[in-house]
Amino acid sequence: MANKGTIGILTGGGDVPGLNPAIRAVTIRAIREGYRVIGIKRGWAGLVDLVQDREADNSGNFHVLSEEIVNPAGRTGGTFLHSSRTRPSHLPRPNLPVHLRGSYQDEINDVTPQVLKNIEWLGLDFLVPIGGDDTLSYGYRLHKEGVKVVAIPKTMDNDVPGTDYCIGFGTCVSRTIELAHTLRTSAGSHERFLVIEVFGRYAGYSALLPTMAGAADRCVIPELDFDIEQLTDLLVYDRNRHPSSYSVVLVSEGAKIRGDDSMSFLETEKDQYGHAKLGGIGRRVGDELKRLSPKYNAGRRINVINQRLGYLVRCGAPDALDCVVPMAFGNLALDLILEGTSGRLVNIRNGVYGSISMEVINGPHKVVDVDKFYNRERLRPNFKDLNNAPLFIMNAD
């Protein structure tokens, strides 16, 4: 068995393709370096719900990982460790496990002291959380409390600060391009506008990059409120120039119509990080395009095909990039652990692998540089000044 120590690994927030390859990379390298690896289940929830009793059934909270477990899992999408949006520093009383309800009485509770005890009980020498800025912000809190943490960035939105790339983003872009091109057959058959709603709460990378790759004629992103009349005019122009009389726009879920500063939500209930589920802006844009189209199309209305991609771009197996990058990130994490270094976020900066202080997680969201990469007048990407740009054009700065 292991003789160097024990490493815990968990995944939090939304699932993305590439999580299982990252778990595999960390686990195999760690075992071969002489570590024991424990998979924490359901993100931070596994460290909240754990019962400190060797006779208790903690199979829903953690289990010891092996090469036999992670090898087949590494070829699949999602996360076999499961995930949650549990936030131990802001845990609602109804979410407290039964064995903690006598110790915490408030409506919202900070159970970090118990999480620290559970980490000690498990004997974790290092903790490797894989997640977006919400999951990693709590990882940084644990780092400040003295836990040795090495973090790996993950999110479809690609908005974790300090890194050019987050696990899941490549598959998101690939699927968006593929699905947009597939939907063109219906848009062209009926000579309609095609409105596709994609991920992107604060950052428009998942709309901008596919549009840059030819998936759409126009895109609207969260970083800049857009004029719906301007968008209608441009899409009519695109449609009239297309041999099959249709045009396509990608709409980030966090985009806002100018004059209405509110995001569109599918529901009002918020998760423990204060986020309500986004969705619906694509439908609103489609309705407005249909209403306004006669004004720009000689009095004739143009109908709309409206599609929200949602989980279609986050389910299933990872693409090549989301197999390679998680492998590299996992091994970078082990390099740091072997050095005895913690409080770091593994990253890619200008196409080069490395790491950065986890303190960056507390900074502002990483968003698109609108002045550099987005054409405000044309509502589409800029295609110039790409010399010396990184693989995905836009970097962490």
Q: 3-state SS of the chain: helix, strand, coil percent to 5?
A: 40, 20, 40
Percent pLDDT > 70 in the chain is 95
Q: How many CB atoms lie within 10 A of CB 60?
A: 13
pLDDT of residue 393: 82
C-alpha–C-alpha distance, residues 199 and 366, integer Å: 15
Tokens 């939105």 correspond to 157
Task: Name the H helices within the chain.
Answer: 19-32, 45-49, 67-73, 112-122, 133-144, 169-190, 205-212, 228-241, 281-296, 321-339, 370-373
Q: Residue range 325-337: average pLDDT?
A: 98
Q: What is the dihedral of CA 124, 120, 50, 142, to 10 degrees?
A: -80
pLDDT bucket at 396, cuts 50 / 70 / 90: confident
pLDDT in tens, 200-230: 999 999 999 999 999 999 999 999 999 999 9
3-state class (DSSP) for residue 131:
strand
Residue 220 one-letter amino acid? V
pLDDT of residue 391: 78
C-alpha–C-alpha distance, residues 35 and 17, integer Å: 26
DSSP for 133-156? Answer: HHHHHHHHHHHHTT--BEEEEB-T
DSSP for 77-110? Answer: SS-TT------GGGEEGGGS-GGGTTT--SSEE-
369 catalytic per annotation: no
Q: Residue range 344-348: average pLDDT?
A: 97
Active-site position among 157, 164, 217, 322: 157
DSSP 8-state class, residue 320 = S
pLDDT of residue 211: 97
CB 251 within 8 A of CB 198: yes
If residue 130 lies in a helix (H) or strand (E), which one and from where to where?
strand 126-131
Global confidence as pTM: 0.93
Q: What is the dihedral of CA 160, 80, 271, 197, to 10 degrees?
A: 60
pLDDT of residue 131: 97
Q: Residue range 281-306: average pLDDT?
A: 97
C-alpha–C-alpha distance, residues 194 and 303, integer Å: 9
Q: Please give the structure tokens belonging to residue 76.
A: 């699949």
Percent pLDDT > 90 in the chain is 88
3-state class (DSSP) for residue 188:
helix
pLDDT in tens, 79-99: 999 999 999 999 999 999 999
Q: What is the dihedral of CA 197, 266, 274, 355, to 10 degrees?
A: -20
